[in-house]
Structure 1
Amino acid sequence: MDLDTVRTFVAAADAGQFQDAAAELAVTQQAVSKRIAALERTLGVRLFTRTPRGARLTIDGQAFLPHARELLRVAERAVASVRTGRRPLRVDVISSRGAASGLMRGFHRAHSEIDLDVLMLFDIEMAVAAIRSGSIDASFRAVAVPGRPLPEDIESVRVVDEPLELLTGPAHALAGARSVTMAQLVGHRIWMPGIVPGTEWGAYYDDLVAEFGLTIEATGPNFGSDVLLDTIADTPALATFMGGQTRLVWPAGYGLRRIPVTDPTPVYPHSLLWHRDNPHPALATLRAHLAATATGHDAAGTWRPDWVSPR
């Protein structure tokens, strides 16, 4: 059903005159008559009866009028949903408890007037494809996986380097340390079942192991953070790495310890990715917010893989 004919029908019904409807729509009276006739042919009914005083709705016209108004309202909402600046800014934060989620919460507090859709995609290829297709506006990632550079139309900027911490249970050999060096971690079992081969975080931890001779075990199914915390609390032989800005809560009786890692401090680099031609005005606001609030990166005494983009 052609929306112009529906719009013309509503205008004629409201005006009661084809001539007045033509003036409102900035078309000729003949064009109004043709559109109404086309709509009547589509519906198979008469919508108006001509009278000396103008055009009067038939019973069928009266029945159709509220639905015609709703059709126009739905069409307007559909257009508004994709109109630049009217739809929410869609941002991928990878996980709800990580540093990127915290950055977006800070942005929302500072710019509560901006509508947000926050979602979580699995890996960088999926995120880049979503950015290029326009289904999301931006993504937080560690740029980029070795051998897989970003496409030329994808921009990125480093926004925060997140220090890793060691998480242990109360009976672990390092539980009483105020800090631990990378050298002190050699020989200890670090359990991280969430590492998936081929992902950016998988590449990150592969390089961490190769650089410092650590023992990182990704064995067993990944049942989520709650099971990870249960296991670390109950198993003296296991520890795990956790981002310093990761938000997790556990029962006080677990006695878990978050211990800073030094000499050097491994940092996980978070970058914001977006399409260079994305016109959403809130994207520029987000970038400006992150530029103003982000901490420095590549600080002295820190480590990151050589393949991470310096941008």
Structure 2
Amino acid sequence: MDVEALRTFVAVAGSGQFQAAADELGISQQAVSKRIAALERQLGATLLVRTPRGSRPSTDGQVLLPHAKRVLAAVEQAEQAVRPGSRPLRVDVLNRRISPAQAVYRFYRSRPGTDLDAVTLSEENAAQAAQAVLEGSVDASFRALPADQVPAGISTERLLDAPLELLVGPGHPLAGAHRATPADLAGHRIWVPGIRPGTEWAAFYQALSETFGLSIDALGPHFGDEALMDALADSASLATLVGSGDRYLWPQAHDLRRIPLHDPTPVYPHVLLFRSGDRHPVLTALREHLRSTRPRTPHDVWVPDWVAR
């Protein structure tokens, strides 16, 4: 059934005049007549009775009228549900401790009351997350997606580079360093538990290892971030890598040290994926916020050459 024909019928029934309905709908009186005639043919019933004073619903028209109004109300609700800005923006931040989550949180703090949901698709790799964006499960996702894996219909913008830092306990040989180079890490065991094969972060750490000759592994069970902090505090040889904007907490007695890396500065590139042409106002505001607040990029940045821009 033609929704516009139903809308026209309701307008005529309400005003009692074809011309008044035409003015309300922004169409010609002839178009109103054609829509009503087509609807009557489809239903096999006369819906309006012409009188010297205009038109009024026939008996069949009176039966149809409340149903038509409910249909139009349902259509309006459906349109409103997907209209840009009518629902919260759903952003996949990957992990609530790391830079994307902190950046989205700062955006929310700068705009209290913004209609926003931060979610984690932590079991998905970058390609699967891009598909979730494409299908509408989420509106945007922060991922280090290879350029050749960006599907049609997805736009990318590299908005958040997270410089890496070495995290060590007080007994580690590099614990007293104020800065370190990637070359300084050669020969030290770097433990990054939880790396899963096939994920973008696995590809990132593999590229980092191969480029600088590092020993990065994920051997052993991962009992969570707190257990990792405990292991670092108790070890004179173990280290891990974290982003400079990542938020990790540990007991003061652990005395862990965050050591910035430079010459070059390895950064984890969080690329924002979103549907091409998405007009959600919160997405636009988030992108503008990230552009205006991101730290100045170090002059000696290193990223894998496969990362989408």
TM-score (norm 1): 0.71
The answer to whether the Cα contact below 8 Å between 1:175 and 1:257 also exists between their aligned partners in 2 is no
Q: What percentage of residue pairs aligned between the two structures are identical?
A: 42
Match of 2:134 among 129, 132, 135: 132
**Alpha-carbon shift at residue 78 of structure 1 (Å):** 5.0
The answer to whether the Cα contact below 8 Å between 1:233 and 1:256 also exists between their aligned partners in 2 is yes
After superposition, where does 1:198-217 map in structure 2 within 5 Å?
198-217=198-217
Q: What do the CA deviations read for 1:97-148 (whole angstroms, capped 9, x no partner)?
A: 1100111112212333431121111321121101111222111111327xx4
- What's 1:261 paired with? 260
Q: What do the CA deviations read for 1:274-305 (whole angstroms, capped 9, x no partner)?
A: 12x443332222222222222343623x3221
The answer to whether the Cα contact below 8 Å between 1:165 and 1:258 also exists between their aligned partners in 2 is no
The answer to whether the Cα contact below 8 Å between 2:160 and 2:294 also exists between their aligned partners in 1 is yes
- What's 2:219 paired with? 219
Q: Distance in 1 between matches of 2:278 and 2:210?
A: 42
Note closer, same or farther for the CA distance 1:177–1:78 as it changes in structure 2 (3 Å cut): same
Unpaired runs of 5+ in structure 2?
A: 8-23, 26-65
- What's 1:237 paired with? 237
**Alpha-carbon shift at residue 177 of structure 1 (Å):** 1.6
Q: Distance in 2 between matches of 1:299 and 1:70?
A: 61
Match of 1:165, SS?
A: strand
Match of 2:164, SS?
A: strand
Q: Distance in 2 between matches of 1:293 and 1:176?
A: 31
The answer to whether the Cα contact below 8 Å between 2:162 and 2:268 also exists between their aligned partners in 1 is yes
Q: Distance in 2 between matches of 1:272 and 1:296?
A: 18
After superposition, where does 1:57-96 map in structure 2 within 5 Å?
79-96=79-96
The answer to whether the Cα contact below 8 Å between 2:193 and 2:220 also exists between their aligned partners in 1 is yes
- What's 1:178 paired with? 177
Note closer, same or farther for the CA distance 1:76–1:159 as it changes in structure 2 (3 Å cut): same
TM-score (norm 2): 0.72
Unpaired runs of 5+ in structure 1?
A: 8-23, 26-64
**Alpha-carbon shift at residue 249 of structure 1 (Å):** 1.3
- What's 1:111 paired with? 111
Match of 2:91, SS?
A: strand
Q: What root-mean-square deviation, in Å, do the aligned CA atoms of Structure 1 and Structure 2 show?
A: 4.3
Match of 1:239, SS?
A: strand
Aligned residues: 300
Q: Distance in 2 between matches of 1:298 and 1:176?
A: 23
Note closer, same or farther for the CA distance 1:285–1:253 as it changes in structure 2 (3 Å cut): closer
Q: Distance in 2 between matches of 1:226 and 1:70?
A: 55
